[in-house]
Amino acid sequence: MIKVITQDESFLQEVSIDVDLRAEEDIILTKEIIQDLKDTALDVHFNNEIGCGGLASNQIKMSKRIFIIKDKKNHFKTFINPRIIKKSKKMIHIEGGEGCLSRPGKFTIKRRHNKIEVAYNDIEGKKKKATYSGMQSIAFQHEVDHLNGILI
């Protein structure tokens, strides 16, 4: 279901809580959140001039550690309980600044690690690892910031 993206800074500054993938109610809720994130992101992608590179669950008023970001094929990939486990020393930023759907019209120059190694769970609870660089690294770090209550 398409959700309204919140601009409530007090809610967005709260740290999101881990998903318990052993609890049936959390699994059901997580599947609903993932579908809502994808529906909302696709709606924004087609109806917003800046598009949507990612979306965290707290942006749709759900305080769980879940987000989606676009992969290189322009499909949304889901991350549950994501964390960054290794960071490169090289820093990068987006010329003109990073935008955020919860802060429309504001762009901030934010230095990010060019390359990161990450760990996360999939919906089956399997532990996964991946490495991202460039724009995907920036998007991942941006969404992790959301889950940690950090706004750009």
Q: Which residues are catalytic?
A: 143
**Which of 96, 82, 87 is CA-nearest to residue 137?**
87
**Which of 7, 34, 41, 2 is CA-nearest to residue 146?**
7
Evaluate the CA torsion angle 96, 6, 64, 49 in order and state its sign. Answer: negative
CA–CA separation, 42 vs 34, rounded Å? Answer: 12
Which token pair is 12? 């967005």
Give Cβ neighbours of residue 129 (< 8 Å, ≥ 6 apart): 85, 117, 118, 119
Angle, alpha carbons 69-72-76 (nearest 5°): 30
One-letter amino acid at 114 equals N
